[in-house]
Amino acid sequence: SKQPFLVHTSKTNIQVLGTSFNVNTYEDGLIKTSLVEGRVKTFSLDGDSTLLRPGFEAYYDDLKKEFQVKPFDKEYVLSWIEGSYLFNKVPLENLTGTLERWFGVEVVSINKKVIGKTLVSGIIEKGKLKEFLENLNASTGIKYTLKNNILDFTAN
């Protein structure tokens, strides 16, 4: 708190005022700032701002040019710190970035309209891509091939 600093993202800045927080910029057009403890003030490049309380996160939507603040589940938002990614009812296509970053694969899908929109829940653990893919197949019927770091999802 005696040495505040700024964190800059492409669309927002976050003033850190002695705290524990998380910033997620992986979804296009959406920046999430989640406050665990302390205080942060996040503001957009056009001057909109919000001060967060612990247990809340600010979503900045680049299309709407506004912040929305709501409570967050610490277990889900911060699970990546422990080497896992928890998700609940997320479209499969929203997980492709995590799979690419964590496992160094390129994800392609034959039918994004069907497969990409399939809602999935579960956990991805670092170093356990095969286990995740087998669980995905067992729970949804979505088949996959993994060859030369190309992950291809196909319909059943």
Identify any residues that bridge with 123 across adjacent strands, giving them in sequence order. Answer: 86
Q: What is the pLDDT of residues 56-96, one digit of tens each?
A: 999 998 888 889 999 999 988 888 888 899 998 988 888 88
Query: Are residues 19 and 38 in contact, defined by beta-carbon separation less than 8 angstroms?
Result: yes
Strands 84-91 and 56-61, by their bridges, are unpaired
Task: State yes or no: pLDDT of 156 exceeds 60.
Answer: no
Q: What is the pLDDT of residues 111-132, one digit of tens each?
A: 666 677 789 999 999 999 999 9
pTM of the model: 0.71
Q: What is the pLDDT of residues 143-154, one digit of tens each?
A: 899 999 999 987
Phi and psi (nearest 5°) for 27?
Answer: -90, 130
Question: Which whole number is the average pLDDT over 10-38?
Answer: 86
CA nearest to 46, candidates 26, 28, 66: 66
Please report, for residues 58, 72, 74, 152, the alpha-carbon distance to residue 41 in angstroms, rounded to integers and kept in the order given: 10, 17, 19, 41
Please report, for residues 6, 102, 108, the alpha-carbon distance to residue 153 in angstroms, rounded to integers and kept in the order given: 40, 17, 7
